[in-house]
């Protein structure tokens, strides 16, 4: 097996604020292979975005990576110098953000902002950069691209702006595109268009994508692998089929119960009760325990180990251990 394009090993990220250390990401690990799509799902505050910003190393004060490695082609980018990091961002890994309305600088034209990235990372001259910008706008399906280049962000609609963001992110042909909730701020009809566009571009350009969302529905048919995060930890990791049809973590099950589906005849959606944990003051044991219907005594005491369910499927839930134990007992092994 060749080395994966991106390996995240035991990454931890914290924010030091007045009331203590907010441990937003708490030792997560995953791999991403070339040309694959990885989905990261979780509710607000589960550390999805912070993971993305850690990979880009664009955390703002007081955020800091406190441990772990991020290996890109075997090189640890946590150890990169500022200069190395600058050359790396936008060229090897790009990111698009949640809110296209505020993610473009209001005082510069679209063309200016697109060119900036191209001029930074390639040796194209201004005219070539302009041509490339135009080409990118066409690629992402912006109508009247020549005119758009001269326009300011506020003259474009939200969907258009997100297309521009995608064009900007892909202009230097990065190996990985991180999409941080790219459709959350958009209308539902536009959401579908943007997702379709991303899938199409992925096929055409072959980059790997990390798709971050709180909406399981968004990533169902797009992702090769899905990670479910809760309170800065990975609960469960598996292929889309495994996550959807054979969830092995109580939180994942809860998430699935809470999304509307047409293929089952559940009369109503079941929400997950309670609210997320206080990240400055993490309880010992499983972070989800207090909201879990199946919560056991052990869940309150110790953190569940990662249990390999099969080659691609991993879950950290004591229920799996219990199940295995019960079955073994039934078979008389104990």
Q: Give 21 or 99: the residue with its C-beta nearer to other proteins.
A: 99
- Site residues for other proteins per CB under 8 A: 18, 56, 58, 60-61, 82, 85-91, 94-95, 97, 99, 102-108, 116-117, 120-121, 152, 154-155, 165, 168, 277-278, 280-281, 283, 285, 289-290, 294-301, 305, 307-308, 318, 321-325, 327-328, 333-334
d(CA 232, CA 287): 9
d(CA 149, CA 189): 25
Shortest distance in whole angstroms from residue 334 CB to other proteins: 7
DSSP 89: B
Q: Give 200 or 329: the residue with its C-beta nearer to other proteins.
A: 329
20: part of which helix (H) or strand (E)?
A: strand 20-32
Q: Give 37 or 164: the residue with its C-beta nearer to other proteins.
A: 164
d(CA 178, CA 198): 11
Shortest distance in whole angstroms from residue 139 CB to other proteins: 18
Query: Strands 93-96 and 176-180, how do they pair?
Result: parallel
Q: Give 220 or 298: the residue with its C-beta nearer to other proteins.
A: 298
DSSP 64: E
Q: Give 180 or 225: the residue with its C-beta nearer to other proteins.
A: 180
Shortest distance in whole angstroms from residue 209 CB to other proteins: 15
Q: Give 38 or 93: the residue with its C-beta nearer to other proteins.
A: 93
Strand, helix or coil for residue 128: helix
Shortest distance in whole angstroms from residue 282 CB to other proteins: 9
Shortest distance in whole angstroms from residue 18 CB to other proteins: 8
17 Cβ contact partners less than 8 Å away, ≥ 6 residues apart: 62, 280
Q: Give 71 or 298: the residue with its C-beta nearer to other proteins.
A: 298
- Residues 182 and 198: beta-carbon distance below 8 Å: yes
- Residues 170 and 94: beta-carbon distance below 8 Å: yes
* CA nearest to 251, candidates 318, 175, 300, 308: 318
Shortest distance in whole angstroms from residue 152 CB to other proteins: 5
- Residues 211 and 223: beta-carbon distance below 8 Å: yes
d(CA 87, CA 114): 16
Q: Give 11 or 170: the residue with its C-beta nearer to other proteins.
A: 170
H-type alpha helices, 37-109: 48-56, 82-88
Shortest distance in whole angstroms from residue 180 CB to other proteins: 10
Shortest distance in whole angstroms from residue 308 CB to other proteins: 5
Strand, helix or coil for residue 12: strand
């Amino acid at each position: 097996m060749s080395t994966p394009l991106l390996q995240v090993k035991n990454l931890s990220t914290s924010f030091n604020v007045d009331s203590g250390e907010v441990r937003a990401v708490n030792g997560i690990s995953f791999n991403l292979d070339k040309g694959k799509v990885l989905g990261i799902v979780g509710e607000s505050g589960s550390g999805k975005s912070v993971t993305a910003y850690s990979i880009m190393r664009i955390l703002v004060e007081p955020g800091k990576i406190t441990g772990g490695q991020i290996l890109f082609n075997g090189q640890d980018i946590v150890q990169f110098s500022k200069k190395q990091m600058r050359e790396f961002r936008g060229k090897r890994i790009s990111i698009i953000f949640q809110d296209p309305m505020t993610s473009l600088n209001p005082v510069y034209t679209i063309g200016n902002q697109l060119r900036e990235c191209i001029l930074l990372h390639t040796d194209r001259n201004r005219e070539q950069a302009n041509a490339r910008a135009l080409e990118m706008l066409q690629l992402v399906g912006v109508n009247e691209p020549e005119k758009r280049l001269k326009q300011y962000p506020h003259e474009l609609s939200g969907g258009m702006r997100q297309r521009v963001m995608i064009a900007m992110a892909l202009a230097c042909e990065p190996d990985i595109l991180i999409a941080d909730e790219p459709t959350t701020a958009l209308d539902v009809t536009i959401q579908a268009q943007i997702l379709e566009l991303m899938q199409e571009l992925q096929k055409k350009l072959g980059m790997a994508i990390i798709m971050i969302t709180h909406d399981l529905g968004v990533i169902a048919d797009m992702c090769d692998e899905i990670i479910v995060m809760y309170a800065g930890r990975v609960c469960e990791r598996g292929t889309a089929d495994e996550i959807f049809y054979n969830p092995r973590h109580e939180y994942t099950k809860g998430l699935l119960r809470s999304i509307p589906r047409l293929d089952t005849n559940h009369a109503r959606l079941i929400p997950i009760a309670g609210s997320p944990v206080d990240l400055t003051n993490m309880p010992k044991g499983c972070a989800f325990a207090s909201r879990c219907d199946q919560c056991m005594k052990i869940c309150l005491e110790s953190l569940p180990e990662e249990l390999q369910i099969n080659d691609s499927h991993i879950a950290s839930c004591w229920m799996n251990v219990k199940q295995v134990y019960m079955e073994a007992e039934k078979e008389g092994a104990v």
